[in-house]
Copies of this chain bind each other. A is one copy, B any other.
Amino acid sequence: MFVQVSEADFSQQTLYDQLLAQCDKPAGAIVTFTGLVRDFNAQGPIDGLELEHYPGMTENALLQLVEQAVSRFSLANAAAVHRIGRLANHDQIVWVGCAATHRHHAFEGACFIMDTLKQAVPLWKKEYQHGAAQWVEPKASDDQAAMAWLKKIQ
């Protein structure tokens, strides 16, 4: 298991290889999720964003989610990477990888980490638009997705 919180960009191949190399049992299925900076919001085109975070807690919260995913879905490994600081449109912003024996566990693990990350990891987006920057409001659909995992029988 590993987490990274950094201003630096990341490589798909490097993260995939690292996830696979550190599996604690043979993995037959690997699911990755990558999030990119969108170039628009409800008000129109945006010009990138800035990500603030809570140093220390961000890493701990990500690691907790990754550990929960591994135990809840019997994963062979899981990892989460999040960038912070100033990002341009279409930049990579978040990466999650899950390795498992069974493919549905790998899908569920990655989906679980993304859904809960959006509610439990101290990161905040500020979008640049028309020269000004505005904090992003949380989406109700994200709250509902995270809540759904709490309701499912473990």
The reply on A28 being an interface residue by CB < 8 A is yes
Q: How far is the CA of A16 from the CA of B38 in the complex (A)?
A: 18
A116 to chain B, nearest CB (A): 13
Give the interface SS of chain A, mostly helix, strand, loop or mixed: mixed
Report the interface size for chain A: residues with CB under 8 A from the other chain: 29
Which of B40, B107, B114 touches A110 (beta carbons < 8 Å)? Answer: B107
Q: A12-B12, A12-B13 are in contact. Are A33 and B104 (CB under 8 A)?
A: no
Q: How far is the CA of A36 from the CA of B33 in the complex (A)?
A: 18
The reply on A6 being an interface residue by CB < 8 A is no
The reply on A35 being an interface residue by CB < 8 A is yes
Interface residues of A in 10-38 (CB under 8 A from B): 11-13, 16, 26-38
Q: Which A residues form the contact surface with B (CB < 8 A)?
A: 11-13, 16, 26-40, 90, 101, 103-104, 106-107, 110-111, 114, 145
**What are 30 A-B contacts with C-beta separation under 8 Å?**
A12-B12, A12-B13, A12-B16, A13-B13, A16-B34, A26-B38, A26-B40, A27-B36, A28-B37, A28-B38, A29-B33, A29-B34, A29-B35, A29-B36, A30-B32, A30-B34, A31-B33, A31-B110, A32-B32, A32-B34, A33-B103, A33-B106, A33-B107, A35-B103, A38-B101, A103-B114, A104-B111, A104-B145, A107-B110, A107-B111
